[in-house]
Every structure is written in structure tokens, then in C-alpha cells.
Structure 1
Amino acid sequence: MSGAFLPRAAAPAAARPAPSWAKKPPPKSKAQTPGKITARRYAAPRDPHEHARKIAENVLDAWYQSFGGSSIDVPLGTVAGLSLLRNVPGLPDWLLNLQPEELPQLLKEIYLGHWIKRPDLVNRAIRLHDWAWNPDPDKQQLRAVHAVTRAAINTGLLDRTGDDDPWQRSEADILSPLLTGLRHKSDMKWRGEYHTPACVTDLMANMTVDKDFAQPGMIIREPAVGSGTMFRSVAQRLRDLGLNTHDFHWYGNDIDSLSAGCAAVNAIIWDLGPRCLIGCADSLAPDDDYAKTRAEAKEAFEQRDRYIDTASTIVTWRRALGLVDQLMPSEGNAA
């Protein structure tokens, strides 16, 4: 598959000034130390939200200490992509032993793999993975991505997001503290971006959602979805009540494309189901933005089907031509 399968991001990522201690020339590249690297046994905090904050802190330190630059979509998209992996024995060690130049291809394959199932959500998250398709990546940035990957894995990212059980994966929002940590306070202020703490969203969900209220088929809307923290709390509450998140309609919207992209990735991690739509528009605008979101999702699935049909046709023709070559005698054996 090629990068043509996914749309390109229209706007550059918002920048956050690097800390003062990071404003010096990047160090020269050092040769890789031979030998296999193994993941550290990280003693994760009991509180999953504290664990998520710790992952964000270590990723931030790794990004800025490695002089990653001001493109906050790069570390955010790296952690988001790794969060889409299911943890299997040996995977953390394998990830830690990848070289910097191998990571963009890995992330492209992760996002493309989920694009097959949910092209609408992966398209919505384009700001998070668009950078990985750069044919001439910055070497220093790749080293920073490498440091971010190691920091996230060594802080137990896959223990938090890689479980087969969606309830376990939904215990915390990994991307919210990372996004807010990467964005400068002044940037969040003019955007009016304030992520609701998980303790508050959990309390709201527990107070409002019960079996009498939550009926399969109902619509759950969030016009300022952010990274989706309210959806996470409601999903956990539904599961605690023995209900299936796939039986509900989820409509989330945010004016910020990075936040909407995080919510789209989280919708996959938390397994909100096939009826979950994430939009990127002004919820205060008079137009029906969910109609636009539904139209965009429909087009994403139709585009995916067209690409798959084309790929299937190419494979069929190649197999047919290969069979013809086997049946036709070569010139040397011709009578």
C-alpha cells in the first residue's frame, strides 16, 4: 500500500516552544550500541490516570531532550500509533530494537491496518500520522521519535493500551495528558481548550448513566469531545452495567483537528463500536455538522472499497498472467 490511500493533512501542527534547556544545537549522532535491548520492568502506579500522566511526562522529556522540534503532532502521533498495537509476548523488546529509520514504516503499517476497518476514524486522525509519510524525513526528528518510542514502551504504554479486553484498555486516556503537555498554555487559552479531568468525567458518568437511562440504540453526543475522555467514562460505566458499547451511537465533535484526531484513535482503542463518529467542526455553527461528519465517513468507506477492489483486481490479473506463463511453453522447448 502507498501513502495515496490516505488524505494529506491540510494544516501544520500547532507549535510549542522548546524548554530553555533544549535550545542548543542537537548532539551529533552516536553509533548504536550492539546487542539486544530488553524492556524494563516498569512498576506502574496503581491509579491508571497517574500512569497515563507518567507516560506523558517521560515522552515529553524524551522528545525535548532529543531536540525533536516544535511539531507536536509527531510525538503525539507516535504514541497514538503504538497505542493501537495489541500487546503480545516479545513485542516490547522487538519495538525497542527497531532503528530510528524503521519507525515511520511501522507507524504507517499500524495506521493502514486500522484504516482497513475504520477508514473514517483513521482519516480523522490524519494530523497524527501525516508526518510519517514524508519521503525525506529529518534524521534528528527520527532520533527523537526513537527516544519517544523507547520512553513510552519502558513506561508501560502497552500494559495500559495493549490488553485484549477493551475495559482494561479504557481505564485511562493516554493521549489527553500528552496533548495538554505538548501544547503551550497560551495556545490552549486562546483555543479555549481545557480537558476535563478523568475524576470529573467518571463522576458525571456514574451519576447520569444507569440501566433505566442507558437504552441500546440511544445517541450519546459530545459537542466538545477533546480527546474523548467523557466517552471513555461513559463506555466504562456502560460496561460496568453489563451493556455493550457497540449498541449505542456515539457522536463526538471538536473544532481542533489534533483533539479530534486523538478522539478518533481513542475510539478505536476503547472499542466504542461501529456507530461511533468523530467530527472536526465548530459545534456552535448553525449547520448540522454531524450530517457533514456522516457524509465524510460514508465517503471514507467508499474510498476504501474502491482501493480494495482495485488491489483485488491487480492481484487477480497477476495470478492469471502467472498461470499463463506456466502453461505456455518457453522458446527453448517449443517444437
Structure 2
Amino acid sequence: MNDRKHRADQGSANTPINAEAHALTLAVEVASAWHRGGGADQSEVPLGIVATIAAAGLLVGRADDVAAGMLSAAPDGFVDIARSVWAVTLSRRPDLAQSVYPLLGWLFAANDQERRIKATADAALRIGQLKLTATERRFDCDVLGPVLGALRSRTATKVNAQMYTPGDIACALTAVALDDLKPGQSFCDVAVGTGGLFRAAACVVRSRGLNLADMSWFGADVDELAIAAAAVNSLIWSLGSKVFFYAGDVLAHPHWAEEACSRRARFLEEVDGLSSGLKALDFLRRL
């Protein structure tokens, strides 16, 4: 069995591979495929491709069908699919549009990178991304965190140094911290990254039979791409609509949580009445 076939088999539903190990393998494959294409790094584009595949899986719910459809698409057809995915996703969740938008600029570019984009998407699909982001395994790991780390490291051997808090450690610490968990509780992380501690908290909430959508989630980070990834992760982990993100320095803006709420409310007022998520995306582009 050749190496590529072996890696693809790691994504099969019948192989009991650890979800975090699978996510790390995915990150290396995505970064390698993107960098092989040449040109500028533009980490936001391949990260946005992985986010798009995740959003498509959540919309359709049938991982094999989504993978087959995307793999069979031509390069320009994949970009068209991506636009449609986000049109529907943001028509349902316009509250996330501002946070997610840094990952979506390539949908509007006069694109001379369609082949590079498609090759990167194919790498993610063949390594089994949808087994991680469109099934119950989506609660077991953060896919976007390792991808962001790998894209920034430029070498696969440095990916581990770029990763956020390991999932098992985060879950153990969070379970202790949330000993007196109550419905409607708020969670706040001022260095949220791509949301690893939110995932750990979500695991505790689910294990105690509580509803994730009843909780409130407040996350801030100076890294705009990390915040965008955390917003996508909030969809993957079903955190609900009471999710508020702030991209900026919380030390300079101590009232960042209130500002995040106000920004979102103002944006939703602006886009109210638009007939589709695609129009909301066009509106964002003009801001």
C-alpha cells in the first residue's frame, strides 16, 4: 500500500484512529498541498477552504455525498459550491458573518488560484476531513487549530509547536473548573485562539446532559484568523447562537465583551431585510 493510500485510509470510518492525530495529519496534508501550489502564503485561503468543507458537511449531513460532490467538481465549480455553502450558512447564522469573513475573501477575488484552491480542497477531502467535521467525531477535536498552525509553520515538523492546548488536558482541567455547572452559564476566554477551551467546556456540558445552546460564549483574541476559525468551530461544535467574538487587544479594550455584543447587534440591523446570505457577504465586502 503506498503512503498516500495509507493516509487516506486513516480517514475511513472503520479505522479507530485518534481524532486529534487525524486532525494533525489533515493539517500537514492541507499545508503541503497549499504550499506546493506556489505563490503567496495567504493562510486565510486554505484555512477558509477547510472551513468551507466543514460548513458543507454540516449543511448536508452526509459526509460521503459531500466528499464525492466536491471531489468531482471542476476548480471553478468548487468555488461556486463554496459561495453557495456560505450563502446558506450565513443566511441561517448572520450573527457569525463578521467573525468568519476573514476566511472568505477568496470567494470574491478575481481568481487565478482556482487550481491551487481545488488541489488543497481535494487533499483535505481525501484525508477524510468530513469524518472529523461532519460526524459525531466533530466534538472530539479542533480541526482548524492544527491547520492554522501548520500553515504558519511552513514545515510539518513544527506543527506540534503551533498547536493549542491538547484536547485531553483541556477537557480534564475544564471538568474540574466546571464542577458546579448550571444551565445558562456564560463562558469567557480572553485568549480563545481557535476555541480549544470552548470545545472542552462543550464536552463537559454535553456529558452532564445540558444544552449547549442555552449557554453564552464570549471569546477574544488578537489574531483575526484564529477568531474566524473559532467562529467556524462554534458551528462545528453546535455552541448555539449566543456566541460573541472580539478580534483585538482586551487589555486596551477592557469592555470588549460589551463591544462585541454591540457590534453584532449593529451589523444585524444593517443586514436585516437582505434576502440571502450571499447578499450579506456582498454587504460585508463593501464595509
Verify: 1:280 aligned to 2:247, yes or no: yes
The one-letter amino acid of 1:248's match is M
Cα contact 2:145–2:163 (8 A) shared by 1: no
Cα contact 1:116–1:304 (8 A) shared by 2: no
Verify: 1:302 aligned to 2:269, yes or no: yes
Deviation track 1:174-230 (CA, whole Å, cap 9, x = no partner) reads: 000010111148xxxxxxx872222321221122223xx111122110011000010
The equivalent of 2:85 in structure 1 is 110
- CA distance in 2 between counterparts of 1:173 and 1:48 reads 9
Verify: 1:250 aligned to 2:217, yes or no: yes
More helix by share: 2
The one-letter amino acid of 1:200's match is I
The one-letter amino acid of 1:117's match is R
The one-letter amino acid of 2:150's match is G
Verify: 1:179 aligned to 2:148, yes or no: yes
The equivalent of 1:232 in structure 2 is 199
Verify: 1:47 aligned to 2:18, yes or no: yes
Cα contact 1:107–1:129 (8 A) shared by 2: no
| Count of residues in correspondence between the two structures | 256
| SS at structure 1 position matched to 2:244 | strand
- CA distance in 2 between counterparts of 1:45 and 1:57 reads 20
* TM-score, reference length from structure 1: 0.72
| SS at structure 2 position matched to 1:220 | strand
The one-letter amino acid of 2:68's match is D
- CA distance in 1 between counterparts of 2:221 and 2:208 reads 28
The equivalent of 2:111 in structure 1 is 137
**Aligned mate of 1:76, from 40, 47, 69:** 47
C-alpha deviation, 1:269, in angstroms: 1.1
- CA distance in 2 between counterparts of 1:126 and 1:181 reads 21
Deviation track 1:52-95 (CA, whole Å, cap 9, x = no partner) reads: 10111111111112225311111010001111123425221111
**Aligned mate of 2:37, from 46, 61, 66:** 66
| SS at structure 1 position matched to 2:220 | strand
- CA distance in 2 between counterparts of 1:206 and 1:144 reads 42
C-alpha deviation, 1:45, in angstroms: 5.3
Cα contact 1:68–1:144 (8 A) shared by 2: no
Report which structure shows greater RCO (CA 8 Å, sep ≥6): 2
- CA distance in 2 between counterparts of 1:151 and 1:194 reads 20
C-alpha deviation, 1:110, in angstroms: 1.4
- CA distance in 1 between counterparts of 2:81 and 2:239 reads 25
Cα contact 1:224–1:253 (8 A) shared by 2: yes
The one-letter amino acid of 1:130's match is G
C-alpha deviation, 1:127, in angstroms: 0.9
The equivalent of 2:138 in structure 1 is 169
Extract unaligned runs of 5+ from structure 1: 1-39, 186-192, 312-335
Verify: 1:124 aligned to 2:124, yes or no: no
State the percentage of identical aligned residues: 29
The structure 1 segments of at least 4 consecutive aligned residues displaced by more than 4 Å after TM superposition are none
Larger radius of gyration: 1
- CA distance in 1 between counterparts of 2:35 and 2:16 reads 24
Cα contact 2:56–2:66 (8 A) shared by 1: no
Cα contact 1:253–1:279 (8 A) shared by 2: yes
The equivalent of 2:158 in structure 1 is none
- CA distance in 2 between counterparts of 1:273 and 1:73 reads 24
The one-letter amino acid of 1:155's match is I
Cα RMSD, aligned residues only: 2.1
Extract unaligned runs of 5+ from structure 2: 1-7, 155-161, 279-287
- CA distance in 2 between counterparts of 1:248 and 1:282 reads 24
C-alpha deviation, 1:125, in angstroms: 1.2
- CA distance in 2 between counterparts of 1:83 and 1:219 reads 26
